[in-house]
Amino acid sequence: MVDRMDELRGECSDIEMGEPSRGFMAAFFEEVNGVKAALCTMAASVARIEALQSESLTATSAEEGKAAAKQLQEESGGMNVLAKKVRAQLKAMDAANKLFAKKNPGASEARIRTNMHATLSRKFVESMAEYQEVQARFKSKHRERMARQYRMVQPSISQEEIDAALDGGGQEEVFSQTVLQGPGHAQARQELSDIQERRRDIDKLVPPDTSIAELHQLFLDMSVLVEAQGELLDQVEYTVAQSVDYTGRAVDELRSAAYYQAQARKKCCCVVVTLLIVVGVVVLTLYFRYVAPDGGDGDGDGEGGDEE
């Protein structure tokens, strides 16, 4: 049990409570932090309930049993109230998320809200499943312990008589009369009285079938909600995968476009250089064919005139 409590402290220490953020989705994340804190309280409460149940079942005196029973009753009551509160918070959060998604179709914030709510719902379901299992184990161990005590008082008692005595319905009184009619009835009376008093104390802690059914219904409600959100998350995951695929294709196409653009620039540069060379050759050819000879003839005529 100490290891379990250390584990819970480690999990809950990861929650950053601090000042609520004033940035993106501040109000929503403040609500999320509140639910996370409640879930940690629930997990710690389940661990304490299990420890108190063990103390109650192993108590060696009536005083110890009553003390453990009182603490266990208070802890279980607080746990039930908190569980209903968290369920109401998660249902309200789910309704708000659906309304937000309806008003803002395709918004990334809607997906964030859905994912966070699904995570919290799963943790709540896990906590309730553990609580339900702890309560069921306690009820089973309680019956086993009472059966052993009845056999100590009346070794010849049958399992059917034990079940009848434990289930009530007037059969316990019949069993009591049977025990008291046997040998050593004075001692048996005292032992039986102690057993019955002990049973009444523990019966206050054993969750009745209606309480377990209520816990089971609460568990089912949240399980259905988580399953529905799981389908939505699968769709979101598929959409994200498709987006990643399309993004990868777009990157490849951009790379191809960049390559072709570079090739086009190279070809354009080659064409420009080729044109410049051609133009240069043409210009030089025309220059040497027409301009240069005319310049040479002019110089010759000038020299002949001076000699005359």
134 Cβ contact partners less than 8 Å away, ≥ 6 residues apart: 46, 49, 50, 53
Q: What is the pLDDT of residues 269-279, one digit of tens each?
A: 888 889 889 88
Q: What pTM, to 2 d.p., does this model score? A: 0.58
Record the tokens describing residue 170, joined without a space.
């007037």
> Angle at CA 252, nearest 5°, toward 250 and 253?
65
* Tokens coding 291: 């301009």
Tens digit of each residue's pLDDT, the chain (308 residues): 445 545 555 556 555 444 445 566 888 889 999 999 999 999 999 999 999 888 888 877 777 777 888 888 889 889 989 988 998 998 899 899 889 888 888 888 888 888 888 888 888 888 888 888 888 888 888 788 878 877 777 777 778 877 777 776 444 554 555 555 555 455 555 555 666 666 565 555 555 544 555 555 666 666 565 555 555 555 555 565 666 666 777 777 788 888 888 888 888 888 888 988 988 888 888 878 777 666 555 554 544 444 44
Distance (Å) of CA 117 to CA 9, 14, 74, 223: 22, 18, 30, 13
What distance, in Å, lies between the first and last C-alpha atoms of the chain?
A: 134
* Options 3.40.630.10, 1.20.58.70, 1.10.287.70, 3.30.565.10; CATH of 2-226: 1.20.58.70
Q: Are 125 and 86 in contact (CB under 8 A)?
A: no
Average pLDDT for the chain: 73
pLDDT tens digits for range 153-186: 777 777 887 777 777 644 455 455 555 555 545 5
Taking the CA atoms of residue 212, residue 217, residue 219 and residue 223 in that order, the dihedral angle to the nearest 10 degrees is 160
Asked whether the beta carbons of 37 and 17 are under 8 A apart, the reply is yes
Classify 175 in phi/psi space as left (phi over 0), alpha (psi -120 to 50) or beta: alpha
Q: In Å, how far are 117, 248, 303 from 232, measured between CA atoms?
A: 12, 24, 103
Euclidean distance between CA atoms 25 and 2, whole angstroms: 37
Q: Taken in order 295, 297, 300, 302, is the CA torsion positive or negative?
A: negative
Q: Quickly tell me which residue has 């059969």 as its tokens.
A: 171
What SS3 state is found at 158? coil
Give the span between the Cα atoms of 151 and 148, in whole angstroms: 5
pLDDT digits (tens, 9 = 90+) for 120-159: 888 888 888 888 888 888 888 878 887 887 777 777 777 8
CA atoms of 121 and 303, how far apart (whole Å):
112
